[in-house]
């Protein structure tokens, strides 16, 4: 095991049902239909038992109730206009949350349609190797942990579980939206199956791993609906700050009335309520919940299921990213890229021997050797049947080589140490040139395969095949982008340190962990966390489960084992490890959106202060008219304009809260500066203009002029 720091780079039975495609919703602007659909839910949220969970908007609702009573007792146009707009402020704030939840409900409704009342074929006495276990019919809802069920082609898998016997092609489009079938088989890291998906071919036995009502789809439905969404620590802290500001301004307004009475300018309940609503941070208070829900929704749109809002938020604060090399940084399937013959052997002779030894090798590496020999040297692709009495030697973990015996000739291909040992045992010797070629390929990040042949009783090395694991296009640029975010990337691989270093240099990662074991991964995560850092990683195997559970953001692949999916706090339905980078970007976007709108909301209150305070005391203290810098028409129109703007700005900002502020990789200080200039300055300037425009419109309404 090696952890090396690199210098930054230079520059179920029953009638099958067709699965429904998951609903996809864009994160763009609102459409009228969506608003109308969410409006009833917004009105239902006016229940004080619901509103009290949002202290800022609860105070606005209490103010609306007081102004309503005041308007009934002492009716006037001004009192009723303020009352109506205070109620609209509460409804608009609820509407932002209802719209965000509505998107999740649309997704959940589609998922519910994938749930079928399936009759399962339960095996009552199944054991490994049993030839004819007894079957009984059982409703999917009656299945319990540890039950075994058999599922054949055309049938629906009745519950979440692991394949313990057989291999089958499974249609998971009901879950992932991807129409291409996937292979699920017993053993290994691709044994997990999801209830509601459909077996397309063959027969498998599944061990049930979930209780009724706690299946993967059930959890997805609860999460995307928001029923299982818990507020994150950051969101709770911000709620406490907003509640504290609300209490401060509430006390300030309450103590303001005695001074007003002393000055002979006693204020009505309507004006005092309007002042409280204008001063407290209603904009962010009304949008805060929607921002959190929308963050999880953006992940769902990318086929990532976050088990908690805490995980989404933690993704935005990640300092260290652990990425598997194979399938994430590289394509994973090593391809033959070059034949390197030794002295006394031609490249064509080496290619011919390499192709012969690979004819029975159905691995991607073996097929690539056959193809390279055909393309580079014009060797016709031969088949096993054409070689007559050829005897093929399969690859085994013990011999670490494969080959063929044909026409009195033996050809072997495999690991350098295994093949050179075979050569030595058959009267030959591998010289220093072979070791030099092997070392050169290893140092370049490739995998060397030595090819040897035995003729006339003596074996000799013919040359080396260079297998190369190709780094995915654009990975260096993506890692550069992560570096600008302040995120350190660590590549995890089982390769030897030389190979790992070469791939790490080519890809542009910061560090690498070579010859990694599950214990090594855990130790690395704990070291990073001990230094106060948040760690994210991906995994799909049972051996990844401890590290996924330890990581702050653990993204399990949907194709992985049940243990991995239970350990992680996110599941990638597309099983694309590179999506971890997108998850981090979405987390950062969530935090930036929350910060930007909080900045805007607080700056917003300053303009409303200049609109209402001078209007309240202009009669008692004429000198305050100098603060009426917007030259608003009258005290009544000034207060009304501020309250109308306060309500409308929430509606205007709903699309931004749902879509999120665009994230650009940069340092924390530059992000803070940008927020202050764009949203802080915008929060100051926009209300002045908006309130003035509204004042020009309403000044002609009798009772407000």
Which residues of the chain are modeled with pLDDT < 70?
A: 1-31, 34, 103-117, 129-131, 173-180, 188-189, 216-217, 219-232, 308-309, 327-328, 331-333, 380-388, 397, 445, 577, 618-620, 624, 665-668, 705
Three-state SS sequence of 660-679? CCCCCCCCHHHHHHHHHHHH
Predicted structure pTM score: 0.64
Backbone angles phi, psi at 493, to 5 degrees: -150, 155
CATH of 331-470, one of 1.20.1260.10, 3.40.190.10, 3.40.1110.10, 3.20.20.70: 3.40.1110.10
Q: What is residue 225's predicted lDDT score, i.e. its pLDDT? A: 59
Closest CA to 506 of 535, 468, 467: 468
Of the candidates 160, 324, 572, 695, the residue annotated as catalytic is 324
100 labelled ligand-binding: no
DSSP-based three-state secondary structure for 400: coil
578 labelled ligand-binding: no
Interatomic CA distance for residues 485 and 479, integer angstroms: 10
pLDDT digits (tens, 9 = 90+) for 580-599: 788 888 888 888 888 888 88
700 labelled ligand-binding: no
Q: What is residue 229's predicted lDDT score, i.e. its pLDDT? A: 52
Q: Please give the CATH topology (third level) of the domain spanning 119-158+160-209.
A: 2.70.150
Q: Residue ranges of the domains in the chain? A: 32-103+238-297+586-699, 119-158+160-209, 304-327+472-573, 331-470
Looking at the chain, the number of H-run helices and the number of E-run strands are 23, 22
Interatomic CA distance for residues 376 and 349, integer angstroms: 12
399 labelled ligand-binding: yes
Closest CA to 463 of 607, 563, 338: 338
331 labelled ligand-binding: no
544 labelled ligand-binding: yes
20 labelled ligand-binding: no
Contact, 561 vs 162, CB < 8 A? yes
552 labelled ligand-binding: no
Per CATH, 119-158+160-209 and 304-327+472-573 having the same topology is answered no
313 labelled ligand-binding: no
456 labelled ligand-binding: no
47 labelled ligand-binding: no
Three-state SS sequence of 238-293? HHHHHHHHHHHHHHHHHHHHHHHHHCCCCCCHHHHHHHHHHHCCHHHHHHHHHHHH
Q: Which two tokens stand for residue 127?
A: 């054991």
Q: In CATH, what is the architecture of 304-327+472-573? A: 3-Layer(aba) Sandwich (3.40)
- Based on the residue annotation, tell me whether 218 is a catalytic residue of this protein: no
Interatomic CA distance for residues 295 and 289, integer angstroms: 10
Q: Which two tokens stand for residue 173?
A: 């489009």
398 labelled ligand-binding: yes
Q: What is residue 506's predicted lDDT score, i.e. its pLDDT? A: 84
Q: What is residue 4's predicted lDDT score, i.e. its pLDDT? A: 38
pLDDT digits (tens, 9 = 90+) for 22-77: 334 344 445 677 677 778 888 888 888 888 888 899 999 999 999 999 999 999 99
Q: What is residue 644's predicted lDDT score, i.e. its pLDDT? A: 92
């Amino acid at each position: 095991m090696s952890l090396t720091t690199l210098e930054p780079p230079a520059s179920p039975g029953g009638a099958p049902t067709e699965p429904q495609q998951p609903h996809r919703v864009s994160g763009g602007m609102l459409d009228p239909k969506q608003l109308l659909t969410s409006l009833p839910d917004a009105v239902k949220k006016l229940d004080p038992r619901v509103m009290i969970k949002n202290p800022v908007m609860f105070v606005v609702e209490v103010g609306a109730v007081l102004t309503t009573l005041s308007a009934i007792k002492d009716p006037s146009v001004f009192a009723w206009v303020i009352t109506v707009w205070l109620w609209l402020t509460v409804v608009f704030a609820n509407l932002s949350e209802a719209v965000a939840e509505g998107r999740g409900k649309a997704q959940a409704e589609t998922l519910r349609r994938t749930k079928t009342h399936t009759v399962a074929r339960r095996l009552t006495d199944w054991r490994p190797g049993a030839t004819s276990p007894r079957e009984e019919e059982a409703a999917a809802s009656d299945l319990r942990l540890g039950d075994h069920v058999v599922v054949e082609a055309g049938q629906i898998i009745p519950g979440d579980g692991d394949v313990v016997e057989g291999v089958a092609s499974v249609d998971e489009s009901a879950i992932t939206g991807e129409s291409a079938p996937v292979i699920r088989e017993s053993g290994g890291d691709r044994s997990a199956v999801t209830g509601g998906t459909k077996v397309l071919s063959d027969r498998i036995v599944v061990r049930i791993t979930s209780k009724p009502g706690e299946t993967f789809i059930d959890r997805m439905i609860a999460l995307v609906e928001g029923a299982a969404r818990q507020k994150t620590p950051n969101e709770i802290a911000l709620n406490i700050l907003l509640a504290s500001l609300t209490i401060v301004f509430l006390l300030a307004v309450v103590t303001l009335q005695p001074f007003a009475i002393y000055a002979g300018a006693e204020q009505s309940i309507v004006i005092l309520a309007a002042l409280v609503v204008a001063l407290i941070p209603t904009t962010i208070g009304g949008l805060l919940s929607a921002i959190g829900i929308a963050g999880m929704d953006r992940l769902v749109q990318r086929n990532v299921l976050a088990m908690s809002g805490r995980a989404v938020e933690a993704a935005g604060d990640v300092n260290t990213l652990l990425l598997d090399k194979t399938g994430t940084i590289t394509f994973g399937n090593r391809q033959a890229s070059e034949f390197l013959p030794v002295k006394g052997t031609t490249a064509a002779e080496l290619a011919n021997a390499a192709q012969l030894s690979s004819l029975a090798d159905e691995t991607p590496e073996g097929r690539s050797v056959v193809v390279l020999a055909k393309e580079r040297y014009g060797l016709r692709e031969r088949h096993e049947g054409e070689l007559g009495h050829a005897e093929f030697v399969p690859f085994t973990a013990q011999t670490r080589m494969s080959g063929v015996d044909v026409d009195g000739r033996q050809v072997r291909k495999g690991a350098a140490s295994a093949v050179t040992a075979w050569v030595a045992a058959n009267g030959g010797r591998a010289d220093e040139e072979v070791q030099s070629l092997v070392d050169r390929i290893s140092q370049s990040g490739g995998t060397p395969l030595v090819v040897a042949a035995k003729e006339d009783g003596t074996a000799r090395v013919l040359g080396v095949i260079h297998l190369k694991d190709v780094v995915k296009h654009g990975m260096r640029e993506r890692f550069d982008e992560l570096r600008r975010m302040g995120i350190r990337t660590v590549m995890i691989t089982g390769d030897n340190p030389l190979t790992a270093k070469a791939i790490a240099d080519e890809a542009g990662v910061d560090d690498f962990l070579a010859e990694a074991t599950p214990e090594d991964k855990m130790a690395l995560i704990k070291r990073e966390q001990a230094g106060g850092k948040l760690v994210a990683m991906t995994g799909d195997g049972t051996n990844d489960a401890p590290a996924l559970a330890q990581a702050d953001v653990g993204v399990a692949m949907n194709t992985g084992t049940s243990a991995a999916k239970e350990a992680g706090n996110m599941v990638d339905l597309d099983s694309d490890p590179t999506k971890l980078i997108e998850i981090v970007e979405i987390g950062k976007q969530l935090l930036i959106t929350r910060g930007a709108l909080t900045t805007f909301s607080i700056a917003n209150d300053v303009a409303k202060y200049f609109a209402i305070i001078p209007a309240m005391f202009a009669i008692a203290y004429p000198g305050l008219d100098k603060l009426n810098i917007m030259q608003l028409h009258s005290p009544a129109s000034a207060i009304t304009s501020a309250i109308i703007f306060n309500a409308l700005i929430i509606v205007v900002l709903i699309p931004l809260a749902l879509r999120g502020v665009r994230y650009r990789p940069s340092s924390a200080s530059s992000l803070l500066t940008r927020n202050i200039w764009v949203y802080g300055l915008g929060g100051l300037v926009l209300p002045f203009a908006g309130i003035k425009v509204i004042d020009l419109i309403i000044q002609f309404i009798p009772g407000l002029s």
